[in-house]
Structure 1
Amino acid sequence: MSKKIAVLITDEFEDSEFTSPADEFRKAGHEVITIEKQAGKTVKGKKGEAQRDHR
């Protein structure tokens, strides 16, 4: 059964702490949704990984 998984992130997140688990969730067939306090804002990790799926 596929699930939606919400992840709270903001600027300067630790890239691997988000991307590694998110990739595994996606491989398992789940949808990963990012949430940031400002809707539509592109956030960047410490190593430059940008995320913009937030609601």
Structure 2
Amino acid sequence: MKAYVDKQKCVACGMCVDACPIEFRFGCDGLAESYQEIPQDVVDDVWQVIEDCPVGAICLK
């Protein structure tokens, strides 16, 4: 499972990076990105980040 950040929606608020740094970081464009397959032990954290994203820019595939 992998998280994806819609760069058209992302406002770089940093909520996802702060809440789950093992899965999200800021890319060189200054916007959030997911950079690895989601480790099993942080799946619940990623679901929470998806729910909390203020612009709904994150999804799982």
- Rg: which structure is higher? 1
Is the pair's TM-score, using the shorter chain for normalization, greater than 0.5? no
Task: With the length of structure 2 as denominator, give the TM-score of the two structures.
Answer: 0.33
Structure (1 or 2) with the greater strand fraction = 1
Task: With the length of structure 1 as denominator, give the TM-score of the two structures.
Answer: 0.36
Indicate the structure whose relative CO is greater, using CA pairs within 8 Å and at least 6 residues apart.
2
Structure (1 or 2) with the greater helix fraction = 2
